[in-house]
Amino acid sequence: MAATTELVQGDITGQRVDAIVNAANHSLLGGGGVDGAIHRRGGPDILAECRRIRSEQYPDGLPTGEAVATTAGRLPARWVIHTVGPTWAKTKDKSPLLRSCYQRSLAVADQLGARTVAFPLVSAGVYRWPKDDAVRQALSVLRSSDTAVERAVLVLFDAATLAIAERVAAGTP
């Protein structure tokens, strides 16, 4: 069955869900945006696990479109699912990779037994993916994927992005 999807405005680090998804980078060693916020608020245990995953599983870094889980340190969630979105490119359609971030994150959530999962708008920050299309890709995967996740929350950081997401969710141009 597909998860019920919700749009909320806010900071993903405060979400009371089983797992939050991190828009990480290949290194898994932290960065800006949502990644920085998760490590700042979650504390050093998350980074220590990321380092272990790097050395044991992904010496060359986590590939784009893949996802991997750690515990969540001091965050209210139990797990952080780290995924790497593609950078936006006008001349190349990388949407299969963006969709894969949501698909692989749901698969990891299923392996963990997470029933509620919060997602940021992957790739729509430093990686410059247009927000409306980022929402379109996210919702189309979340609404159609077969998963044991019951509630998928798409967390939009500010009011303007929430307004874009609501318009896309309603199917209005």
Least distance in Å: CB of 16 to ligand ADP? 14
**Helix residue spans in 43-169 (DSSP H):** 44-56, 95-112, 131-144, 159-169
Nearer to ligand ADP, 40 or 113 (CB): 40
Per-residue buried b or exposed e for 75-109, using 16+ beta carbons within 10 Å of the residue's own CB = bebebbbbbbbbebeeeeebbebbbbbbbbbbbbb
What number of H helices and E strands is found in the chain? 5, 6
Please say whether the beta carbons of 109 and 22 come within 8 A.
no
Give min distance, CB of 106 to ligand ADP, in A. Answer: 17
> Does the footprint of ligand ADP cover residue 23 (CB under 6 A)?
yes
User: Does residue 93 carry a catalytic annotation?
Assistant: no
Nearer to ligand ADP, 119 or 146 (CB): 119
Region near ligand ADP per CB under 6 A, out of 11-19, 64-72, 91-99, 143-151:
11-19
| Three-class secondary structure of residue 152 per DSSP | strand
Of 97-156, binders to ligand ADP (CB under 6 A) are 120-127, 155
Catalytic residue among 35, 93, 110, 133: 35
Q: Which is nearer to ligand ADP, 11 or 93 (CB)?
A: 11
Does position 42 interact with ligand ADP (CB under 6 A)? The reply is no
Find the angle CA(34)-CA(38)-CA(42) to the nearest 5 degrees.
170
Enumerate binding residues for ligand ADP (CB under 6 A): 11-13, 23, 33-35, 37, 85, 120-127, 155, 157, 161
The set of catalytic residues is: 35
